[in-house]
Amino acid sequence: MIDPTARVPPYRQLAEIIRERIDSGQYPKGSRLPSEAEFMEEFEIGRNTARRAVGVLREAGLVETVKTRGSYVL
């Protein structure tokens, strides 16, 4: 899924994957995104990378993150 050797860094690759899943309806509006731990497991990445990916989408206004709860699709 994620290629660590690509020119685009892993956190951006993941952000793009999540964005596609949102666009496709796999992650519907209002639903909760997988947790950082789940992204870590699915994509075999560290927590930093998972967090940064979600952070990209948060700054882009696509998701909202609530402490101790998770991130939700807007």
Q: Does 47 bind DNA (CB under 7 A)?
A: yes
Can you tell me the distance from the alpha carbon of 15 to that of 53, in angstroms, rounded to the nearest whole number? 5
Q: Does 36 bind DNA (CB under 7 A)?
A: yes
Of 4 and 25, nearer to DNA (C-beta) is 4
Can you tell me the distance from the alpha carbon of 2 to that of 8, in angstroms, rounded to the nearest whole number? 10
Q: Does 52 bind DNA (CB under 7 A)?
A: yes
Output the CA–CA distances (angstroms, integers) from residue 23 to 7, 10, 17, 37, in the order listed: 24, 20, 10, 22
Q: Does 59 bind DNA (CB under 7 A)?
A: no
Of 5 and 24, nearer to DNA (C-beta) is 5
